[in-house]
Amino acid sequence: MEPALPRLWTVAWERMWADLSALAEQRERDADLLEAADRLRVEHATIGWLDRARACSGRRLTVWLPSGRTVVGELVGCGADWLALRADSAALLVVPAAAVRQVEGLGSHTVPPEALGAVGRAGDLRLLLRRLAAGGEPVVVGGTGGLDVRGVPGRVGRDHLDIHGEDGRVRTVPLAAVERLVLS
């Protein structure tokens, strides 16, 4: 028969075992939290600001443009590379994503472009401009350096837009120069 361990030794062993078990469980919880935080960081790194804007339909946004101009309005739509705001004046403002310098009013929820079907995936600014041209819809094309061209969109190329002005002249505007389109 083995000698009985002193009661003090048994209590100390049980405490040490409990401490080691608690420490191991805490390390597992910490590792799970770190893994979740890493997954969240990786997920956030894939989110674009337009994905956040798509989730804000109906929300009032303020958008800063390269010219220093700000446009304010209710978000009524987003394409693959543009957003549309209904201004207080009831005009519709279409802003290319590349022209946005800052946005105020976005929430934290997201909607990827795939969730919006064909328009979200392939509805780039050129497609929108082609639809406006087909409908003979007059616009004001605004850009940096005081660019304000009024007229009807004509031909839309890979990197430019022809505007048939009210004066009968045709102006070609590089899409990179466009910071907003105003539709009445």
The answer to whether residues 68 and 102 touch, using CB atoms and an 8 Å cutoff, is no
Residue 118 to residue 174: CA distance in whole angstroms: 25
What is the DSSP-derived secondary structure letter of residue 12?
H
Q: Confirm if 105 and 59 have CB atoms less than 8 A apart.
A: yes
- For the whole prediction, is pTM greater than 0.85? no
* The amino acid at 119: V
Q: What is the mean pLDDT of each run of 10 residues along the chain (184 residues)?
A: 62 76 80 68 76 93 94 93 92 95 93 70 84 92 87 95 94 94 89
Query: Which is it for strands 92-96 and 178-183: parallel, antiparallel or unpaired?
Result: antiparallel
φ, ψ (nearest 5 deg) of residue 57:
-55, 130
Distance (Å, whole) CA 43 – CA 60: 26
Sign, CA dihedral 19-25-30-31, equals: positive
Which residues in 32-42 are b (16+ Cβ under 10 Å) and which e? eeeeeeeeeee
Q: What pLDDT, on the 0 to 100 scale, is given for residue 90?
A: 87
Domain 49-183 carries which CATH code? 2.30.30.600
pLDDT score recorded for residue 163: 96
